[in-house]
Structure 1
Amino acid sequence: MLYLRVPRLFEDLALARLDGRYPRLINKLTRVQLLILDDFRTHSLTDQQRFHLFEIVEERYRRKPP
């Protein structure tokens, strides 16, 4: 289980993209069994944030057990 506040998640994803940790962070987020995203709609999402969220959801769906 992993609990994350969405604003902090997007900050971490943006920094990870800049310093090369992005693939590793996405892998961590997609492998955890239960991902809880809190404070999801406290602000509107940018195009980049929507892309990150879609990528996480898509990878989690792709990796789900049969």
Structure 2
Amino acid sequence: MPLEHWHSSLADPTVADAILDRLIHNAHKIAMRGDSMHKILSHQPKPDDH
């Protein structure tokens, strides 16, 4: 979930601030685009088990 959506997703903005402060304090931010690999792979046909 993008960082800008956390405050609206958590009931208490103070809790959201505290969580984000701890998660992103020394973190590297990587902006990702497109669908997740899980979503892409879930739509591919599965090979036969034979």
For this structure pair, what is the TM-score category when the shorter chain's length is used for normalisation? 0.3 to 0.5
**Structure 2 length normalisation: TM-score?**
0.33
**Structure 1 length normalisation: TM-score?**
0.29
| RCO comparison, higher one (Cα < 8 Å, 6+) | 1
State the structure with more CA Rg: 2
Higher strand proportion: 1
Higher helix proportion: 1
